[in-house]
């Protein structure tokens, strides 16, 4: 959460600095950019993938499950931008890309033999083919700056999960389904330069479907369901 607050603070500073600059700046950079119906670009994204965990207790020999929590870890994405103008203030965007990410599940038990709690951590890695379709609603351009809100849906295909489905069930891992659906909402800022548009963006997404494979091992039995969620900080060049 502290990282998210820091990101928002940095964005706020950028807005303040740019607003002061925009009041003085009169020459428009890239003045014909917004008249184009279609344009393309690319984006680099830092994402923090996480889980929403539903769990219930199950017992091993001498142990009782107390809690299951998820820990977000940073990942990296690269996306191609296809942007189609629907009007002066509205665009639809298709952002296919590849994401490398990892998450952790922490299983906390009470051991009757030890008389104390202990935690087991399982890493869940994913390589995602991402297919977001988003609607971008923009403010009026103020010289070389504008703000925008963005939201929509996303389908992800997990290559590692798909490969894992072909293997026999293991007793020491948590496996995921390859198909993931999510909804996402965020905001960003367009900065116009002489040759391209630079846009930092902050976005949050939450999964709509249970992506856990319930294959009967002790870790799977401890979970009633897993849904993905993420925080994403992106930089677009268009």
**Domains recognised in the chain with CATH numbers:** 2-22+38-237 (2.40.160.20)
Q: Which residue has the tokens 């494979």?
A: 213
- The lowest-confidence range among 5-14, 131-140, 153-162 is 5-14
Give the whole-angstrom CA distance, residue 20 versus residue 190: 15
Q: Which residue has the tokens 């939201």?
A: 151
% residues pLDDT > 90 (the chain):
42
User: In this structure, how many other beta carbons lie within 10 angstroms of the beta carbon of residue 72?
Assistant: 18
pLDDT in tens, 39-92: 999 999 999 988 888 776 555 545 677 788 888 888 999 999 999 999 889 999
Residue 22: band (very low, low, confident or very high) from pLDDT cuts 50, 70, 90: very low
Distances from the Cα of 46 to the Cα of 20, 181, 236, angstroms: 28, 19, 12
Residue 171: band (very low, low, confident or very high) from pLDDT cuts 50, 70, 90: low
């Amino acid at each position: 959460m502290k990282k998210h607050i820091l990101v928002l603070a940095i964005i706020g500073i950028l807005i303040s600095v740019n607003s002061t600059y925009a009041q003085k700046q009169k020459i428009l950079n890239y003045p014909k950019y917004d008249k184009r119906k279609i344009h393309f670009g690319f984006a680099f994204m830092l994402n923090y993938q996480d889980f929403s965990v539903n769990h219930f207790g199950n017992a091993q020999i001498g142990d009782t499950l107390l809690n299951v929590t998820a820990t977000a870890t940073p990942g990296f994405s690269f996306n191609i931008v296809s942007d189609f103008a629907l009007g002066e203030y509205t665009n639809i965007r298709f952002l296919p890309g590849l994401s490398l990410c990892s998450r952790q599940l922490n299983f906390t038990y009470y051991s009757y033999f030890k008389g104390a709690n202990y935690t087991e951590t399982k890493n869940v890695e994913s390589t995602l083919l991402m297919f977001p379709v988003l609607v971008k609603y923009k403010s009026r351009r103020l010289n070389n700056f504008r703000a925008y809100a963005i939201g929509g849906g996303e389908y992800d295909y997990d290559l590692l999960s798909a490969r894992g489905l072909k293997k026999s069930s293991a007793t020491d891992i948590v496996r995921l389904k390859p198909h993931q659906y999510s909804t996402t909402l965020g905001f960003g800022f367009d900065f116009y330069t002489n040759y391209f548009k630079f846009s930092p963006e902050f976005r949050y997404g939450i999964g709509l479907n249970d992506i856990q494979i319930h294959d009967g091992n002790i870790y799977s039995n401890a979970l009633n369901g897993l849904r993905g969620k993420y925080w994403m900080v992106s930089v677009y060049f268009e």
